[in-house]
C-alpha cells in the first residue's frame, strides 16, 4: 500500500503545478478583446466654391463662344451661391448685353439672359417681323413693330 500512496501524492503536486502553469500561460497570452480602432474619418468636405476670377473666365468663354466681343460690366456672388456675370456685347452688327448665372459649387451654367439686337434694333429671334407697311389690324397698335 505504500506504493499506492506515493503515486497519488506525487500526482497531486504535478496536477496542481500543471494547472497553475497552464493558467499562467493563458493569462500571459490573453489580448484585449477590442483592438485599438482608428478614429472615424471626418465627413467629406464640401467642394470649394468658384471664385471671382473663375466666374469671370467662364463668362468670357461663354460670351466668346457666342461670337461676341465682350466687356465685363460686373460679376458678383449672391447669397444663394450663384455667380451673376454681366457683359456688354458687341458682335457682327449686334449690340446688347449677356447675363450669365453659374452655380458656385457645381459650376453649371444655370441661366442665360441674352439681350442682343442688331444695330437696327431688331432681335435675332424676332421671326415675325416682315417690315413696315402692313397696315392697321384690329387689336394692334397704330404702328406695328
pLDDT tens digits for 110-130? 999 999 887 665 554 544 444
What is the percentage of the chain residues whose pLDDT exceeds 90? 39
What backbone torsions phi and psi does residue 77 show, to the nearest 5 degrees? Answer: -100, 130
**What confidence tens digit (pLDDT) does each residue in 2-46 have?**
555 555 666 777 766 676 665 544 445 556 566 678 888 888 887
pLDDT average, residue stretch 95-124: 86
Look at 5-14, 51-60, 70-79 and tell me which has the smallest mean pLDDT.
5-14
Is 89 in contact with 70 (CB distance < 8 Å)?
A: yes
pTM of the model: 0.53
DSSP per-residue string spanning 34-87? SPPPPPPPPPPPPPPPP-HHHHHHHHHHHHHHTT-EEEEEEEEE-TTSEEEEEE
Amino acid at each position: 500500500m505504500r506504493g499506492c500512496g506515493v503515486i497519488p501524492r506525487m500526482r497531486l503536486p504535478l496536477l496542481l503545478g500543471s494547472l497553475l502553469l497552464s493558467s499562467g500561460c493563458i493569462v500571459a497570452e490573453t489580448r484585449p478583446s477590442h483592438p485599438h480602432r482608428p478614429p472615424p474619418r471626418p465627413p467629406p468636405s464640401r467642394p470649394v466654391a468658384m471664385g471671382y476670377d473663375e466666374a469671370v473666365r467662364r463668362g468670357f468663354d461663354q460670351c466668346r463662344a457666342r461670337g461676341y466681343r465682350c466687356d465685363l460690366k460686373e460679376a458678383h456672388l449672391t447669397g444663394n451661391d450663384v455667380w451673376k456675370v454681366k457683359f456688354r456685347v458687341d458682335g457682327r452688327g449686334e449690340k446688347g448685353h449677356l447675363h450669365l448665372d453659374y452655380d458656385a459649387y457645381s459650376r453649371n451654367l444655370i441661366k442665360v439672359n441674352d439681350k442682343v439686337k442688331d444695330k437696327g434694333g431688331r432681335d435675332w429671334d424676332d421671326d415675325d417681323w416682315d417690315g413696315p407697311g402692313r397696315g392697321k389690324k384690329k387689336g394692334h397698335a397704330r404702328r406695328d413693330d
